[in-house]
Structure 1
Amino acid sequence: MGKHLSDVQRLLIQTAWSKPGQRYDEIAQETGYSVTYLKQDAGPKLWRMLSDILGEKVKKSNFRGAMERRASVLPELSSPEATALQKSSLPTPSDPSAALQKDDEGKIVHQSQIDAIHRYQDWGEAPDVSIFYDRSDETAILEHWIVTNHCRLVGLFGMGGIGKTHLSVKLAERFQEQFDYVIWRSLRNAPPLQQILTSQLQFITNSEETDLPATVDEKLSLLIDYLRKHRCLLILDNVETILRGGERTGFYRQGYEEYGNFFKRLGECRHNSCLVLTSREKPKEIALMQGDTLPVRCLTLQGLDASAGGQLLQLKGCYWESGSQCQVLVERYSGNPLALKIVASAIQELFEGSLTEFLKYKTIVLDEIRVVFDQQFNRLPELEKTILYWMAIHQEPVSVEKLHSDICPSVSQATLIETVNSLLQRSLIEKQANQFSLQLVLMEYATNLVKEQPSRLAVELGLEFNEAEVLDSDYSGELDETELDVVAGGGYARPELVIWNRIPNPLELFNSSPHRKDSLSPATSRVSNRHLLNSLLRTGKMPVPQ
């Protein structure tokens, strides 16, 4: 038996057909209906039903055009809504066959069936992931969380270039049939939450912006209501852009604090949908809500294995004489897909794709890779930078107790634990049992920063510095007993001075600068430089030249 249109649905259809420009408040004033009821309930439900029937997105402003284009499909449909709509006295074109096509298997399908596949997917600026490197283990975990366990919020975390964005798109493509709506959005340009909510609601409800509630709280409540009625997959990429830099991780930039409430409510409120977010850093609300058996879960992405990394290198035109060479290169860059793409391009340009030739050189951190790490490193507070320096000096996994005994200037154990945890939340360090370490490529990056510090301090002293001898040598490594004694006594006020003190004849690296106004004479410069350098080694502070 057919389902008849309600009075309010007929009213909206007649108005949209004859007066497409009339606003909901004007309709409400003429008919006595509540404007809220028309805008947030009856209208959205009607346009969504018509979208299902007509095979395209329908709203009040485009209803007549949609009917004129698609009314020919109605005789081919058998749903109750279609039957009711056929009785609505609207004009019907005469050639229904125009809406029929053949699918890839040669079967006759209706255009509305084809459109239904794309009708409720909004990919925003999602990248093309037609070329995707094996993430089968991660995908299996996420499928279990999202599809089987119906987790409400899932976080994908990892350092820059590790592949979070591509994996989020691939997940959406793979799981799209499990959801009524798929909406992918990037936060790269740090849009306010108001803008994101408006965009999501407009897509789900087929509404104009003027038809939506005004405040963020009202829009969030309306969104949650739809997340309960429909199974939606929402993806937010690059969440770190709304987080504050220069202090402990997880806190929001000024003006973006509302995102915290957004994550909290979607993680705690009952609904049938899932929000997936990607970030280099973990928002504090998610850190509090997550758990292995809770509806909020987090996955930290690791690098590609040798097999997947080798596929990437081959696609970039690289080749090697033995599988071990490929494995060495992938491990050298910790399987980071972006780093591998950058180095593969350099290998192609400089060595015609030969890994054998490239591996003859010790170079790991190319300029483009450094730019990626700089973006994340520059967001760190000074204490977190200092810890990374010390971990680079150790060159192997180190415990909190070891760091606490070594680090200078000294900090309380509680502060150190909080800082190490912050670095974990940023995906910059890895935990192995009760010890912490840096990935190989990040360790090389941090070591290079340490080695560059003497030249920077030389500038502070107004001295010229022979940087090549430091940068071309390896003075990093585990602290020996003498150095540990010096550290324990507070002898190194800056971690880079451990490296500096290892340089043979460090004073020979310096000369008086001809550009410094109070430059010393050659006869006295060596003595004065020794005084300055020794002072730096002892205190990290520069004495005022006499």
Structure 2
Amino acid sequence: MNLKEMLNLADRIVFAKTGHHLDDLQEAVLRGTLERETYQRIAKEYDYSESSVRNAGSQLWHILSEELGEEVNKSNFRSAMERFQFSLFSNVVQDHVQVGSLNFCGEGRHPPDIPNRHPPNREVCSQELSEMPDLGVFYDRTLELETLSDWILNERCRLIAITGMSGIGKTALVSQLVQQIKDEFESVFWCSLASPPTFSDWQNRLLKFFSKSPTDRSFHLTSEPLFVIHYLQQYRCLLVLDDLHNLFVSGELAGKYQAECQDYQSFFKQVENLSHQSCVLLIGWEPSIELPPSAKQNSPLRTLQLTGLDIATTRKILQDYELTEIDENSPLIDCYDGNPFWVKSLASQIQELGGFVPDILKNDTLLLPEDVKCILRQQYDRLSETEKQVMVLLAGESEPISLGGLLEMAIMPPADCLNSIQSLLRRCWLEKPDNLYRLPKAIKQYIIHHLI
């Protein structure tokens, strides 16, 4: 069917269900969907709000799902309509064809008075988000959301890593993103690697989600090493793997896979190198060693290294904890790099101590609550010995230092020093203003007072 024929058929289906023809907004949604446009582009092109477009789309997919007897969404609308048309032609020998409560025949339209014989298959679940955390209030990340959405929906990137310090808001950002774009995909799957399963177990779980087959059949499917990629090629899927760093070796440079986790690495290489229409998002403290921090134009790989919130948003967090007297020059703004977890932990501690900030922060006191120290310890323990040596060197410097200065100070081969610096940058444990190197203030405090 061409576009006009498909819109006419959709109009007949909607009219049979509701008694109303497609309105301008609904037609715009279907037309944009058939032209493979995102909701955002449809809204812009037809001058509607994005929320109105999404709501209209949701209503349409619900109506079509009930009438066509299968789950219909933005990603499979065209194929569902073509299957429906094929079913009409395959039954042409009959006086009329009935699907759901909809009747078609050569003598005209009949009233929709026959019950639905083929209700949508509710066993088929296109979203598995039970491990996606609900993190409460989401603080503004408009630019990052737009960037990720563009990479996924417009540039069709296959593999994207979102990295940054613990507590910086990576999981919250991706949770918000998934809520915004999930309707663009036929399948959405979120998996936490906090206690990473073997790749075989993870793949079996994924295949079971895809196929909804009995366990023994899912296990059989794993004998085909490219089966998952075949699925990602055939369907538009979004896979999210959180806590990626748990696949990597502790005590080594950033991003080296544990021996028992190398099958994950092989899978990610397939995702990168083989053509498909899906996207895999990786969330973690550090990227895998093969993922570049930046990518060439048109590359299927991307890395977004998440930094702290801006001053205004950081103040908003503090105000939510009733610390309204904090101004933009406060050490609470300057020293904690806009890390939401750090700032919330500090604000909670200040509240418990009485809430009078000038007394608590007298003499430039830099607070490090126990939960912040605990998470810093976890990340510090993952560093290699050469990285720790670089950290101690920088902790003793009052001003940022050049790369040449660091190489001169380091008691290690220059190549080891350079690799360690690169790894620390990838872990977000170093800052590089104007090509000079320094430690973030909270991390420097931790190194000086708790390790040296």
TM-score (norm. length: structure 1): 0.60
Q: Distance in 2 between matches of 1:245 and 1:215?
A: 33
Determine the structure 2 residue equivalent to 1:188. 194
Distance 1:82 1:374, change over 3 A: farther
Please state how far the C-alpha of 1:265 moved relative to its aligned partner.
0.8
Residues 264 and 285, structure 1, Cα contact 8 Å, conserved in 2? no
Q: Distance in 2 between matches of 1:199 and 1:122?
A: 11
Residues 167 and 341, structure 2, Cα contact 8 Å, conserved in 1? yes
Distance 1:449 1:297, change over 3 A: same
Q: Distance in 2 between matches of 1:210 and 1:152?
A: 30
Q: Distance in 1 between matches of 2:359 and 2:70?
A: 57
Distance 1:179 1:213, change over 3 A: same
1:447-466 to 2 correspondences below 5 Å: 447-450=448-451, 453=452
Q: Distance in 2 between matches of 1:273 and 1:56?
A: 19
Determine the structure 2 residue equivalent to 1:419. 420
Residues 164 and 428, structure 2, Cα contact 8 Å, conserved in 1? yes
Q: Distance in 1 between matches of 2:447 and 2:334?
A: 17
Counterpart among 360, 367, 383 of residue 362 in structure 2: 360
Determine the structure 2 residue equivalent to 1:434. 435
Please state how far the C-alpha of 1:334 moved relative to its aligned partner.
1.0
1:271 aligns to 2:276 (yes or no): yes
1:122-137 to 2 correspondences below 5 Å: 122-137=128-143
Please state how far the C-alpha of 1:296 moved relative to its aligned partner.
0.1
1:313 aligns to 2:318 (yes or no): yes
Distance 1:267 1:52, change over 3 A: farther
Q: Distance in 1 between matches of 2:308 and 2:294?
A: 26
Q: Distance in 2 between matches of 1:131 and 1:343?
A: 17
Say which is worse superposed, 132-141 or 427-436, in terms of deviation.
427-436
Determine the structure 2 residue equivalent to 1:145. 151
1:159 aligns to 2:157 (yes or no): no
Distance 1:385 1:97, change over 3 A: farther
Unpaired runs of 5+ residues, structure 1, are: 2-48, 58-77, 100-110, 454-546
- Tell me the secondary structure at the aligned position of residue 247 of structure 1: coil
1:29-428 to 2 correspondences below 5 Å: 53-54=68-69, 79-80=84-85, 119-212=125-218, 214=220, 218=224, 220-287=225-292, 290-315=295-320, 317-324=321-328, 328-352=331-355, 354-360=356-362, 362-407=365-410, 410-428=411-429
Task: Give aligned pairs, total.
Answer: 363
- Tell me the secondary structure at the aligned position of residue 312 of structure 1: helix
Distance 1:320 1:199, change over 3 A: same
Distance 1:216 1:358, change over 3 A: farther
Say which is worse superposed, 330-339 or 391-400, in terms of deviation.
391-400
More RCO (CA 8 Å, sep 6+): 2
> What is the identity, as a one-letter code, of the residue corresponding to 1:268?
N
Determine the structure 1 residue equivalent to 2:55. none
Please state how far the C-alpha of 1:417 moved relative to its aligned partner.
0.7
> What is the identity, as a one-letter code, of the residue corresponding to 2:430?
I
Determine the structure 1 residue equivalent to 2:30. none
- Tell me the secondary structure at the aligned position of residue 234 of structure 1: strand
Identity rate of aligned residues, in percent?
Answer: 29
Residues 125 and 186, structure 1, Cα contact 8 Å, conserved in 2? yes
> What is the identity, as a one-letter code, of the residue corresponding to 1:425?
R
Q: Distance in 1 between matches of 2:428 and 2:67?
A: 43
Q: Which has the higher helix share?
A: 1
Q: Distance in 2 between matches of 1:235 and 1:98?
A: 40
Q: Distance in 2 between matches of 1:368 and 1:295?
A: 37
Query: Which of structures 1 and 2 has the bigger CA Rg?
Result: 1
Q: Distance in 1 between matches of 2:447 and 2:212?
A: 50
Distance 1:51 1:234, change over 3 A: farther
Please state how far the C-alpha of 1:162 moved relative to its aligned partner.
0.9
> What is the identity, as a one-letter code, of the residue corresponding to 2:314?
G
- Tell me the secondary structure at the aligned position of residue 260 of structure 2: coil
Q: Deviations over 1:272-302 (max 9, x none)?
A: 0100001112212324995454110101000
Unpaired runs of 5+ residues, structure 2, are: 2-63, 73-82, 102-111
Please state how far the C-alpha of 1:415 moved relative to its aligned partner.
1.5
Q: Deviations over 1:469-513 (max 9, x none)?
A: xxxxxxxxxxxxxxxxxxxxxxxxxxxxxxxxxxxxxxxxxxxxx
Q: Distance in 2 between matches of 1:339 and 1:52?
A: 51
Determine the structure 2 residue equivalent to 1:69. none
Distance 1:258 1:390, change over 3 A: same
Please state how far the C-alpha of 1:98 moved relative to its aligned partner.
9.8
Residues 53 and 81, structure 1, Cα contact 8 Å, conserved in 2? no
- Tell me the secondary structure at the aligned position of residue 203 of structure 1: helix
Cα RMSD of the aligned pairs, angstroms, is 3.5
Residues 124 and 186, structure 1, Cα contact 8 Å, conserved in 2? no
Please state how far the C-alpha of 1:400 moved relative to its aligned partner.
2.0
Please state how far the C-alpha of 1:184 moved relative to its aligned partner.
0.8
Q: Distance in 1 between matches of 2:293 and 2:304?
A: 15
TM-score (norm. length: structure 2): 0.72
> What is the identity, as a one-letter code, of the residue corresponding to 2:187?
Y
Q: Distance in 1 between matches of 2:115 and 2:432?
A: 61
